[in-house]
Amino acid sequence: QSMLTQAPSVSAAPGQKVTISCSGKSSNFASNSVSWYQQLPGTAPKLLIYENNKRPSGIPDRFSGSKSGTSAILVISGLQTGDEADYYCGTWDTTVNAFYVFGSGTKLTVL
Partner 1 sequence: QITLKESGPALVKPTQTLTLTCTFSGFSVNTDGVGVAWIRQPPGKALEWLSLIYWDDDKRYSPSMKSRATITKDSSKNQVVLTMTNVDPTDTATYFCAQGLSSKSFSYDSWGQGTLVTVSS
Q: Of 20-28, 61-69, 74-82, 99-107, which segment contacts partner 1 by CB under 8 A? A: 99-107
- Say if CB 18 and CB 71 are below 8 A apart: no
d(CA 58, CA 28): 28
Site for partner 1 in 51-90 (CB under 8 A): 51, 54, 56, 88, 90
- Say if CB 91 and CB 28 are below 8 A apart: yes
Q: Of 15-23, 61-69, 71-79, 101-109, which segment contacts partner 1 by CB under 8 A? A: 101-109
d(CA 109, CA 21): 15
Return residues touching partner 1 (CB under 8 A).
2, 32-33, 35, 37, 39, 44-47, 50-51, 54, 56, 88, 90, 92, 97-105
